[in-house]
A = this chain, B = another copy of it.
Amino acid sequence: MPDDGNNPIPDWQRQDLPPMLSRRFEFENYPQTRRFLDGVAKLAEEAQHYPNLSFGKTYVSVTLDADGKKLTPDIIALAQKIDALVAKAG
């Protein structure tokens, strides 16, 4: 876990123009990938904030953007909840 004072959340790549957070998750098999995707969908619906997701059989890339505005605590909280899905699965 890199120590990066500018990054509000470890393990995620932060981009500033436009502001977004992204992280790629790798899985061992499709059922794991699917379970993670379903979890992300549930969190997105609860937060009413929809990430952009790219995925294949054993990976998911999650990008959370802020509509060109600042990354809010809500967006960072969503990223933390997504991380927690993997912690639970692992």
Interface residues of A, Cβ cutoff 8 Å to B: 30, 34, 41, 45, 50-57
Residue of B with least CB distance to A48: B30
B41, A52: Cβ atoms closer than 8 Å: no
Ranked 6 nearest A-B pairs via Cβ: A50-B57, A54-B54, A52-B56, A53-B55, A50-B56, A30-B50
- Looking across the interface, which residue of chain B has its beta carbon closest to that of A45? B30
Distance from A26 Cβ to chain B, minimum over Cβ atoms (Å): 14
Is the beta-carbon distance between A52 and B55 smaller than 8 angstroms? yes
Are A53 and B54 closer than 8 Å at their CB atoms?
A: yes
> Which residue on B lies nearest to A30, using beta carbons?
B50
Cα separation A30 to B55 with both chains bound (whole Å): 18
Q: List 15 A-B contacts (CB under 8 A).
A: A30-B45, A30-B50, A34-B41, A50-B56, A50-B57, A51-B56, A52-B54, A52-B55, A52-B56, A53-B53, A53-B54, A53-B55, A53-B56, A54-B54, A54-B55
